[in-house]
Amino acid sequence: MAEAVRRTVVVTGVGCVSAVGIGREAAWEAILRGEGGVREIRRFDASGFPVRIAAEVQGFEPARYLDAKDARRTDRFIQFAVAAAREALEHAALDITAANADRVGVIIGSAMGGIETFEQGIHTLSTKGPSRVSPFFIPMFLADMASGIVSIQLGARGPNMATVSACASGAHAIGEAAATIARGDADVMLAGGSEAAVTPASVAGFAAAGALSNRNDDPEHASRPFDAERDGFVIGEGGAVLVLEALEHAQSRGAKPLAVMAGYASTADASHIVQPSPDGEGATRAMRLAIADAGLAPSQISAVNAHGTSTRLNDRLETQSLKAVFDGKAPPVSSTKGATGHLLGAAGAIEAVFAVLTVRDQILPPTINYHVPDPECDLDYVPNEPRPARVAHIISNSLGFGGHNVTLVFSEAG
């Protein structure tokens, strides 16, 4: 039997909601200006917490994307996903109609789902009793509901699911969506991630694990990937969605691709519940496999959007992995988490958006707050200032608790 031809997948639209801007261009321009979104927490009273800073989305109005009834019945993480999906679809100039809806799918990942709703529901249960728990409690916090509600709101009837792999969730969603198109199961996929986990339990839990920066007196400089004085990540929130499309489908409607979704790979460390494998081997394999999946050699990669969390261990081991892949050196490496904070399950999605825009605009985003070099992190991290560059191919890394590793490859559309 003849082997099926793998279809080329392109990106035709992107949308995002983040602490540095609502909408792709607002966020991207802030990233290139070196602006950060980390501030004191406003979502709840964090005065008694050891960590009192986060990268919160400011000025978000759910009524712009959902009617009042639906806004009341959806968690914030779902609202971010709907907003990003609507923007991405508009950017792609794509209408979902009765004629094409069965061939348009949605995959949106989340690590924490509706944790704000969950915490509030448990509080209601414990203080007011079971009769006062909302009938919308369960569907508001389930992690698959971002994908489900986006499908309902937009009328997409193709493959629909959620990916839940901690901080690799958004990247997994994009990779699996591209694979769905490549094998012919859909023509268009809306893919990405969404997270709204700036909540008491989430902040307390990550702080207890020693994962968060406690630079409470200097929030603007708390997220400092690869810097020698980094002391943990800053929790962020937001959502991002890409419109992925079969090349021939995009061409048939006259759409101009932003980039080619050229490669994808996923691996496991099989090592530790929260720490990367000691030698970074899982991330190394993911990068090598994704680059090979794109039909490229490491020497052809122009840039890296790193996972770059600003934690001591992750940044050192990701640097080690990059050196292994690129034979002791690497192309320029950016981490946009210095600006956006760490969006957990949405991190890989918003960083994929920035990777696509890097290819579109031929400019490398800066790693902000990089001031003190670390001898163990000795690559070119594009410190503090954007840099015009020829970017033919870029990789984007996402590494999650549980040992999940994902690398995506985006290339010029030509």
Please write the tens of the pLDDT for every residue from 73-91: 999 999 999 999 999 999 9
Cα 98 to chain centroid, rounded: 30
Give dist(CA 128, CA 111) in Å, integer: 29
3-state secondary structure of 303: strand
**Rounded Cα–Cα distance for residues 406 and 97 (Å):** 33
What is the distance between the alpha carbons of residues 174 and 132, in angstroms, rounded to a whole number?
38
Block residue for tokens 């929790």: 235
Structure tokens, 182: 């490549």
**Cα(89)–Cα(93) distance, integer angstroms:** 6
User: What's the predicted TM-score (pTM) here?
Assistant: 0.97
393 is catalytic: no
CA-wise closest residue to 157 among 242, 84, 99:
99
Using the predicted structure, report yes or no on whether residue 43 has a pLDDT greater than 70.
yes
Q: In the predicted model, what is the mean pLDDT of residues 245-263?
A: 98
- Cross-strand pairs, 165: 167
- Between CA 260 and CA 154 the distance in angstroms is 24
Residue type, position 263, single letter: G
Report which residue type is found at 220: E
Using CA atoms, how far apart are residues 9 and 172, in angstroms rounded to an integer?
A: 16
d(CA 197, CA 341): 12
Residue 48 pLDDT exceeds 80: yes
Which domains, ranges and CATH numbers included, belong to the chain? 9-252 (3.40.47.10), 264-411 (3.40.47.10)
pLDDT of residue 1: 45
Average pLDDT over residues 355-382: 98
pLDDT digits (tens, 9 = 90+) for 107-132: 999 999 999 999 999 999 999 999 99
Task: State the pLDDT at residue 274.
Answer: 82
pLDDT the model gives residue 169 = 98
Q: What pLDDT does 3 receive?
A: 60
Instruction: Check whether 279 has a pLDDT greater than 90.
Output: no
Can 272 be counted among the known catalytic residues?
no
Q: Which of 91, 172, 249, 307 is catalytic?
A: 307
For 287-304, the pLDDT digits (tens) are 999 999 999 999 999 999
Residue among 91, 172, 342, 393 flagged as catalytic: 342
Indicate the pLDDT class of residue 238, thresholds 50, 70 and 90: very high
The one-letter amino acid at 67: D
The per-residue pLDDT for range 191-211, each reduced to its tens digit, is: 999 999 999 999 999 999 999
Catalytic residue check, 377? no
- Kindly tell me if the per-residue pLDDT of 404 is higher than 70: yes
For position 10, what pLDDT does the model report?
98
The crossing angle, in degrees rounded to 10, of helices 347-361 and 24-33 is: 80
The catalytic residue among 16, 91, 167, 249 is 167
